[in-house]
Amino acid sequence: MARRKKNRPPRKDSSRQAPSRVAHVIEMFGLEALVRPDGEPDDAPLIRALLRKKIARKPGVVVGDRVRIEEVETEGDSPGAVIVAVEERDNVLMRAGWRGHGQAIAANLDAVVVVVSPAQPPLRLGLIDRYLAACQQAGIPAIICLNKAELDVDGEAARELECYAPLDVQIVHTSAAEDDVTQLAEALQRRRAVLVGHSGVGKSSLACALIPGLDREIGAVNETIGRGRHTTTRSSLLAVPGGGELVDTPGIRAFGLFKVEPEELEALYPDFDPFREGCRFRGCTHTHEPGCAVREAADEDKLDAGRFSRYQSLFVSLGEEVDG
């Protein structure tokens, strides 16, 4: 029998420990979360829960997670619970973070909305490709939202987005400025979604249009935790009237694929499916190999040539990231 070391406190009587319960993460702020225990009504006060350091390192906790909490006695203003475990996730949207570490954006999503604009900033198809590949990797349905649609006078941006038609991706048009968000609202009904996209495309404006009364500048943080959003990033799950939830994640400026080796990339392109069987070599990366049926399809306009050429650039840049 192992001898207990001197000075170590006796083991706690487990029957006296607070039972753990499962809760939903509604807001994350550094190492703190606001959670709603299962079975509590939507308007019940949220519980402040502290993240154990071990869990903060891996797997981390993000909005949308279901976690196990143990309630603790509070001293002064300290949180009333500790997050002791993260329940298995249905999915998680990841991006490459600092020094190749993965950063989870949100978990247990029904959709990722890739917001783009025809101008200010201009359409960037490469970024859409990367988000769609990440959605494919995570198994989350994607929606492309062309916001500022009123600026697409000649329909050029809408035409460029036609390269995504062979994919199982819904494309909606909105103009947050003109308060026209009907197509997006319909696509999001009863779904939990996150809005992602380049800075300035109108993600906050869309969130405000979908959720009347949302104070996007200060958000819910000021009332609940008492700190402004400028001190550190926080993200939250917002209820959309009529059903549905939006994950609000300010501060995501860049997006890179996480844990995708160059030769794994092609599997994240479902529009290659009808052609890859015809490649001469098994494991063809469709970059330099002779007898590549995917390249042939692009040459013959059976596959969008722009999408194929961007695939090749992304393949090369993934290799550089691995080497560098």
Ligand X SMILES: Nc1nc2c(ncn2[C@@H]2O[C@H](COP(=O)(O)OP(=O)(O)OP(=O)(O)O)[C@@H](O)[C@H]2O)c(=O)[nH]1
Residues that bind Zn ion (CB under 5 A): 279, 284, 286, 292, 294
Q: Of ligand X, Zn ion, none, which one sits near residue 175, judging by CB under 5 to 8 A according to partner kind? A: ligand X
Q: How far is the CB of 287 from Zn ion (least distance, A)?
A: 8
Tell me whether residue 108 or residue 175 sits nearer to ligand X (CB atom). Answer: 175
**Rule CB under 6 A: is residue 211 a binding residue for ligand X?**
no
φ and ψ of 49, to 5 deg: -130, 140
72 binds, among ligand X, Zn ion, none (CB under 5 to 8 A by kind): none
**Comparison of 139 and 228: residue with beta carbon closer to ligand X:** 228
By CB under 6 A, residue 183 contacts ligand X: no
Instruction: Work out what residue 292 binds among Zn ion, ligand X, none; the CB cut-off runs from 5 to 8 Å by kind.
Output: Zn ion
CA 65 to chain centre: 12
**Total interface residues for ligand X by CB under 6 A:** 14
By CB under 6 A, tell whether 235 contacts ligand X. Answer: no
- Residue 123 or 294: which CB sits closer to ligand X? 123
Report phi then psi at 231, rounded to 5: -70, -45
Tokens of residue 81, six digits: 């619970």
Nearest one of 193, 151, 199, 167 to 311, comparing CA atoms: 167
Contact 116, 198 (CB under 8 A): yes
Residue among 62 and 86 whose Cβ is closer to ligand X: 62
Tell me how many degrees the CA angle 138-88-23 measures, rounded to the nearest 5.
115
204 touches, from ligand X, Zn ion, none (C-beta below 5 to 8 Å by class) = ligand X
From Zn ion, ligand X, none, interface partner of 294 (C-beta below 5 to 8 A by class): Zn ion
- Residue 288: CB minimum distance to Zn ion, A: 10
158 is a contact residue toward ligand X (CB under 6 A): no
Measured in degrees and rounded to the nearest 5, phi and psi for residue 275 equal: -115, -30
202 scored as a contact of ligand X (CB under 6 A): yes
Q: Considering the complex, what minimum distance in angstroms separates the CB of residue 298 from Zn ion?
A: 10
Q: Which of 91, 136, 205, 236 binds ligand X (CB under 6 A)?
A: 205
The answer to whether the CB of 147 falls within 8 A of the CB of 115 is yes
Q: Quick one: which segment of 34-42, 47-55, 143-151, 268-276 binds ligand X (CB under 6 A)?
A: 143-151
| Residue whose CB is less far from ligand X, 79 or 219 | 219
| Residue from 126, 139, 155, 200 binding ligand X (CB under 6 A) | 200
Q: Which of 66, 203, 234, 295 binds ligand X (CB under 6 A)?
A: 203
Which CB atom, from 189 or from 199, has the smaller least distance to ligand X? 199
Residues at the interface with ligand X (CB under 6 A) = 147-148, 150-151, 175-177, 199-205
